[in-house]
Amino acid sequence: MEIELKFRPMLTPPEMLSLGIFGGTYFSRLVDHRDFPESWFRDLDEALYCSEKYESTVNHFRIKAGQTQEQWEAKGWIHPDDPRGWFEWYCKYFLGRRHSDDKRQIKRWLAFCGPKGRWRTTIYRKIRTAGVDIDQGRIVSPRIQQSLLHWSYLVNDKDYRKWLLEVK
């Protein structure tokens, strides 16, 4: 199966922005939000996407999550065409751009939060261990859940039930 067929992000870039990601700083430097559709930002407070200072309170899970730009660069995760990393790549992919970096970025997404992704598996294991309903799962490891949101994934009952069947 082609790798692109496995790539099924849960949320669109505008949905992710409206929920609260990257402490509101994503478009504060290196990438101009005006390079993307105005409709993505029309009803959003600038604090959700263009803040100079990282504010965990604008994040959906109200917690700081993720690594710094410098850490991303040091790990070689940045392609010169997308200096802000995966989310910038995803925004452009969502808008129809196809690029030589697509396969690598999709593999990263699959490894992080795809059906067998490390952090998706980790959060469902933690929720099961905590013995809470999926609706209460929001209280379990909010940092992991915020990181998953940065990759266009939210914990949900359908995926949790499927995961439970697979691990039994």
For residue range 22-43, list pLDDT tens digits in order.
999 999 888 999 999 999 999 9
Q: What is the pLDDT of residue 36?
A: 97
Rounded CA-CA distance 152/143 in Å is: 14
Query: Bridge-partner residues for 79, per DSSP?
Result: 82
The arithmetic mean of pLDDT across residues 5-18, rounded, is: 95
Cβ 48 vs Cβ 58: under 8 Å? yes
Higher-confidence position of 135 and 51: 51
Give the Å distances, CA to CA, from 135 to 71, 89, 138, 156: 33, 31, 7, 8
Give the Å distances, CA to CA, from 79 to 35, 89, 128: 18, 9, 37
Render pLDDT for 60-95 as a digit per residue (tens, 0 to 9): 999 999 888 888 889 888 999 999 999 999 999 999
3-state secondary structure of 79: strand
Concatenating the DSSP letter of every residue in 1-51 gives --HHHH---SS-HHHHHHH--GGG-TTSSSS-GGGS-GGGTTTS-GGGT--
Output the pTM of the full model: 0.93
Cβ 113 vs Cβ 121: under 8 Å? no
Rounded CA-CA distance 127/155 in Å is: 10
Rounded CA-CA distance 167/143 in Å is: 24
Q: Among residues of the chain, what percentage have pLDDT more than 70?
A: 99
CB atoms within 10 A of CB 38: 8
